[in-house]
Amino acid sequence: MTTHDDRRARMVEQQIAARGITDPSVLEAMRAVPRHRFVPESRAQQAYEDAALPIGEEQTISQPCIVAAMIEAAELRQDARVLEIGTGSGYAAAVIGRIAMEVHSVERIGRLAEEAAERLREEGVRNVHVHHGDGTRGWPMEAPYDAILVAASAPHVPKALCSQLVPGGRIVMPLGDPDSPGGQALTRLTLVGPSSWDEKRIGSVRFVPLIGE
């Protein structure tokens, strides 16, 4: 019988490593976090397919290879402190939490924030802190962060996020018109000097819109 563990190992090999993700810490974390526990029970059998899935409130858990690409682009070290905007199911936050020291994740929909926090508790994840709020303001109480990952799209990076990064810090975010049929450009911005950014385009993606200020 094929188990969730088998499906997850195959997902990492065929959808993630096969697409060029090489960072061993990302591959290990994707192998370890049980994605089927972060989707509605009725979707558990689809959890290791190459797809985003609905999680309620008209939101989705992102496609596994996109989660991996975003985390790899953020270049997280073991001592990193990370901000995620758009907790959704809590899955990406759990993956980040396996690699980094501390994660703060902000979700604007109260029910999703509560459910994600509960799920992370059940999974024994202790270094991920879920906050209910508008992530376009970041989470200044715990700033600065080594990396900020935004799991929703907008035409530009919210200003507040830029001021919550350490020098050399990275923002990984889908940039572009959220309604564009062509999707958005997954982009990494590295703060290389006061108000000076190095920009790298990672690929084309399609994300739900960032809603807020």
Binding characters for ligand SAM, 1-40, by CB under 6 A (x = yes): ----------------------------------------
Q: Are strands 53-56 and 165-175 parallel, antiparallel or unpaired?
A: unpaired
**One residue of 26, 53, 61, 68 binding ligand SAM per CB under 6 A:** 61
Beta strands in 40-86 (DSSP E): 53-56, 59-61, 81-85
**One residue of 97, 99, 136, 157 binding ligand SAM per CB under 6 A:** 136
- Catalytic-role residue among 62, 89, 105, 153: 62
- Give the angle 173-178-184 at the CA atoms, nearest 5°: 50
Query: What Rg value do the Cα atoms of the chain yield, rounded?
Result: 16
**One residue of 26, 96, 112, 189 binding ligand SAM per CB under 6 A:** 112
H or E element at residue 112: helix 110-122
Closest separation between CB of residue 185 and ligand SAM, Å? 16
Q: Which of 87, 44, 42, 41 is CA-nearest to residue 67?
A: 87
Positions touching ligand SAM (CB under 6 A) are: 59-62, 85-86, 88-89, 91-92, 106-109, 112, 134-136, 151-152, 207-208, 210-212
